[in-house]
Amino acid sequence: MTDLKDKIKIVINGKDYEVKFPTVGQYRQIESNKSILSGGVYGQMNSSMTEGSQRALNMVDLESTFRVLIPELSDDMKCEYKDLGIKDYLELEKVYIKQFLPWYNEWFKLLNKK
Amino acid sequence: MFEKIYRRAISLFSKKVKGVALYCVKPSSSDEFKTIVERWNCVCFLDHWWREKHHIPFGSKMHLESNFIDMLFEFEEDVLYKKIRLNNLDPYEANKGAWIKQKKEESVKSKDSDFEKFKEDFNNLDLSKYDEK
């Protein structure tokens, strides 16, 4: 059996947050959030290989995932995700890419093997 | 006993929610009664919030006279004003790096530093002068 952790601690703007791997319900919620936040055009944005749409998809993925897995973050933020300034967003994206995604993707690699 | 409670519940609920078939199962055990309470709270989720806020007992006169539209209005109004108040206290300025509320952490920090100061003062206390007396 793998020693992959089912939860990690990530640090966002100096605050610690514990993130657990999603349950089935949470996973479904994340995926439906993606559709809602992208205005129902997630698939089209994904197939369009422009830099802009990929960046927007990243924003959608980040918000969909963090809203479900770190609900305290939404409460701690001074504004809504959509109102974040670009510089502030980039700080959050850095956490998403460097701290969160490597761990999250490892789980999916494991699930895909089965 | 459950038959009696059930009848009482039916008479209360039918006054409150007309046409909502929440109570199709006659409770014969406490588990079934729990199911009824759970269903009530799933369908009328604002009802509990409202009763708790105003300290109103379930099935009381005030409760039976209330309606869900007013509860929803009050809830949305509370959310709106909470947001406005928070925004006035600690407004967000884009791209300044301070986009996370720090209040809780600061208050914990200040409590910690108060305690440390108290400990330091306590350790520095010169008790010898009290001994002399």
Q: What is the ipTM of this complex?
A: 0.76
Average of per-residue pLDDT values in chain B: 75
* Whether pLDDT at B58 is above 80: yes
Nearest CA distance, B122 vs chain A (angstrom): 32
Q: Say which amino acid occupies A91.
A: E
Radius of gyration of chain B measured on its C-alpha atoms: 27
> Other CB atoms closer than 10 Å to residue A70's CB: what's the count?
18
Chain B residues with CB within 8 Å of chain A CB: 86-87, 90-92, 94-102, 105
d(CA B93, CA B72): 31
The DSSP secondary structure of B59-103, one letter per residue, reads: T-HHHHH--HHHHHHHHHHHHHHHHHHHHHHS---TTSS--B--H
The boundaries of the domain holding residue A83 are 7-113
- Which of A76, A85, A87 lies nearest to residue B100, judging by beta carbons? A76
d(CA B9, CA B17): 12
Kindly state the DSSP code that residue B44 receives in the 8-state scheme: T
Is the Cβ–Cβ distance between B49 and B74 less than 8 Å?
Answer: no
Domains of chain A: total: 1
- Angle, in degrees to the nearest 10, between helices B45-54 and B30-43: 90
Q: Is residue A2 a part of any domain in this protein?
A: no
Question: What's residue B85's pLDDT?
Answer: 82
Paired with A97 in beta bridges are none
A40-51: burial string, b at 16+ Cβ within 10 Å, e else: eebeebeeeeee
* Whether pLDDT at B2 is above 90: no
* Whether pLDDT at A86 is above 50: yes
Domain limits of chain B? 1-43, 46-92
Q: Is residue A49 a part of any domain in this protein?
A: yes
pTM score, two decimals? 0.60
Which residues, other chains included, contact B72 with Cβ-Cβ below 8 Å and sequence gap of 6+?
B46
Using alpha carbons, list the distances in angstroms from residue B108 to A14, A76, B12. 14, 15, 47
Percent of chain B with pLDDT strictly greater than 70: 59
- Which of B91, B92, B95 lies nearest to residue A87, judging by beta carbons? B95
Which residue bears the tokens 């007992």? B57
| A31-35, A85-89, B90-94: the lowest-pLDDT one | B90-94
Mean pLDDT of B101-126: 63
Q: pLDDT digits over A28-74, tens only?
A: 999 999 999 999 999 999 998 899 999 999 999 999 999 999 999 99
A16 touches chain B (CB under 8 A): no
- Which of B95, B96, B100 lies nearest to residue A15, judging by beta carbons? B100
Chain B residues closer than 8 Å to A88 by CB? 94-97, 99
Which of the residue ranges B49-58, B87-96, B108-117 has the most confident prediction, judged by mean pLDDT? B49-58
Mean pLDDT of B123-128: 68
Identify the CA nearest to B79 among candidates A82, A75, A66.
A75
Mean pLDDT of A94-111: 91
Structure tokens at B46: 């604002």
Mean pLDDT of A70-83: 91
